[in-house]
């Protein structure tokens, strides 16, 4: 919410249409609705919470959550079949609305992959990075690769060298592809707009953005929350290093919906962090 509010202030000061700010806020309202539905399922009417969250991925049936993974792959593939802009295919065409496919799909896909069986998870990650290289989407490829590599090392206790190398190469292929599109000031350049308007707004922009991965890591169950935080950090670093969308602070519905969907799915799959764990400093021993 701090980043959304600050972005709205900056866009209003620039004289941009109010519909941009309203659209971002509407996306946040939809996302919070998804989280509320997940919370209703998590906390039944009698007030009891589900048991402690699982710490290791389940190895059950390959069909467990498979429809979520399949839907994610389809949504990532659709932009490749749609008309692009100067050879770039990153958006889901939904009538007058075009949603950034990677920003929408990848956060919840990461949650689903943590619970998916290993072989399908690897195949999905490779296919995802391949499609991101074709779009191309350097920011999302780098962010997804960082989170996926961490996930692979966690799940295989460090024994995932071949998978890690392959994914790094695919992400590098996406990063090295030329991007002909010029940045949009209120999307990729929103931090610069804030700084130009006021030193205070520029200074507030950074902590408002840092709050996003910190909240994911702190409040969601681990390691899923940490993996989502890595993805968020990667997207922010990409925006700092090049002309890439700034989530929440800049205009863009897809990143907002994507992260809220990931939070809702994480609650649905893992519950919430126990209060005593949330209060314990990171790295401290369990009681």
**What are the tens digits of pLDDT across the range 197-213?**
999 999 999 999 999 99
The set of long-range contacts for 276-281, using a CB threshold of 8 Å and a minimum separation of 24, is 278/218, 278/219
The set of long-range contacts for 273-276, using a CB threshold of 8 Å and a minimum separation of 24, is 273/53, 273/219, 273/220, 273/221, 273/222, 273/225, 274/52
**What are the tens digits of pLDDT across the range 40-89?**
877 655 444 444 443 444 444 444 568 889 999 999 999 999 888 888 99
**Mean pLDDT value of segment 123-131:** 95
Q: Is the pLDDT of residue 195 over 60?
A: yes
Structure tokens at 215: 């909240």
Q: Check residue 279 and give left, alpha or beta (phi > 0: left; psi -120 to 50: alpha).
A: alpha
C-alpha 98, offset from chain centre: 17
| pLDDT confidence of residue 278 | 45
Q: Compute the mean pLDDT over every residue in the chain, rounded to the nearest whole number.
A: 86
DSSP notation for the chain: -HHHHHHHHHHHHTT--HHHHHHHHHHHHHHHHHHHHHHHHHS-TT-PPP-PPPSS-----TTTTHHHHHHHHHHHHHHHHS--BTTB--EEEETTEEEEHHHHHHHHHHHHHHHS-HHHHHHHHHHHHHHHHHTT-HHHHHHHHHHHHHHHHHHTTT--HHHHHHHHHHHHHHHHS---PPPPTTTTSHHHHHHHH-HHHHHHHHHHHHHHHHHHHHHSPTTHHHHHHHHHHHHHHHHHHSS---TTTSS-HHHHHHHHHHHHHHHHHH----HHHHHSPTTPPP-
**Mean pLDDT value of segment 134-146:** 95
Comparison of pLDDT for 82 and 123, the residue scoring more: 123
pTM of the entire predicted model: 0.86
Place of tokens 């953005």: 209
């Amino acid at each position: 919410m701090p980043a959304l509010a600050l972005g709205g202030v900056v866009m209003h000061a620039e004289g941009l249409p109010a519909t941009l700010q309203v659209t971002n806020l509407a996306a946040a309202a939809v996302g919070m609705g998804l989280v509320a539905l997940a919370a209703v399922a998590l906390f039944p009417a009698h007030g009891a919470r589900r048991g402690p969250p699982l710490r290791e991925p389940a190895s059950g049936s390959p069909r467990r959550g498979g429809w979520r993974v399949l839907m994610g792959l389809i949504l990532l593939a659709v932009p490749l079949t749609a008309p692009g802009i100067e050879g770039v295919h990153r958006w889901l065409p939904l009538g007058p609305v075009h949603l950034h496919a990677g920003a929408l799909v990848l956060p919840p896909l990461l949650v689903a992959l943590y619970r998916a069986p290993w072989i399908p998870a690897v195949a999905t990650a490779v296919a995802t990075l391949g499609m991101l290289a074709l779009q191309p989407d350097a920011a999302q490829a780098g962010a997804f690769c960082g989170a996926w590599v961490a996930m692979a090392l966690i799940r295989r206790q460090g024994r995932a060298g071949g998978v890690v190398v392959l994914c790094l190469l695919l992400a590098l292929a996406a990063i090295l592809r030329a991007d002909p599109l010029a940045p949009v000031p209120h999307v990729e350049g929103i931090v610069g707009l804030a700084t130009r308007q006021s030193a205070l707004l520029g200074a507030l922009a950074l902590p408002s953005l840092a709050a996003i991965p910190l909240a994911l890591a702190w409040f969601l169950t681990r390691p899923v929350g940490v993996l989502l935080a890595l993805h968020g950090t990667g997207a922010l670093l990409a925006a700092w290093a090049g002309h890439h969308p700034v989530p929440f602070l800049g205009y863009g519905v897809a990143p907002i919906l994507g992260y809220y969907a990931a939070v809702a799915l994480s609650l649905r799959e893992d519950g919430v962090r126990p209060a005593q764990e949330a209060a314990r400093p990171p790295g401290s021993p369990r009681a």
